[in-house]
Amino acid sequence: MLGGLPDWLAVVALTLGAGLTMPLGAALGRWQSLRPNWMETEFRHGVIAFGGGALLAAVALVLVPEGVRHLSPLAACAVLLAGALSFMALDVMLARKGTPASQLVAMLADYLPEALALGATLASDGKAAPLLALIIAMQNLPEGFNAYRELAEHTGKPPKKLVASFALVALLGPVLGLAGFFLFAQATVLVGAIMLFAAGGILYLLFQDIAPQVRLDNHWGPPLGAVLGFMLGLAGQMLIGA
- 90-100 pLDDT, tens digit per residue, is 878 877 776 66
Q: What angle do CA 128, 106, 224 make, to 5 degrees?
A: 80
Is the distance from CB of 96 to CB of 159 less than 8 angstroms?
no
CA–CA gap between residue 153 and residue 47 (Å, rounded): 16
What is the tens place of the pLDDT at every residue in 192-229?
888 888 888 888 877 776 666 656 565 556 656 666 66
Domain ranges in the chain? 7-241
CA–CA gap between residue 102 and residue 210 (Å, rounded): 7
CA–CA gap between residue 9 and residue 1 (Å, rounded): 9
What is the tens place of the pLDDT at every residue in 16-47?
999 999 999 899 887 755 455 555 566 777 77
Is the distance from CB of 7 to CB of 1 less than 8 angstroms?
yes
Q: What value does the mean pLDDT take over residues 120-147?
A: 78
| Type of residue numbered 26 | A
Is the distance from CB of 51 to CB of 26 less than 8 angstroms?
no
240: confidence class by pLDDT, cuts 50, 70, 90 = low
DSSP letter at 100 equals -
* pLDDT (0 to 100) of residue 34: 47
pLDDT greater at residue 104 or residue 220: 104
Q: Annotate 6-25 with three-state secondary structure.
A: CHHHHHHHHHHHHHCHHHHH
**Within 10 A of 186 (CB to CB), how many other CB atoms are there?**
11
pTM of this structure: 0.72
Tell the burial category of 204 from Cβ atoms under 10 Å away from its Cβ (0-12, 13-18, 19+).
Answer: buried
DSSP letter at 2 equals B
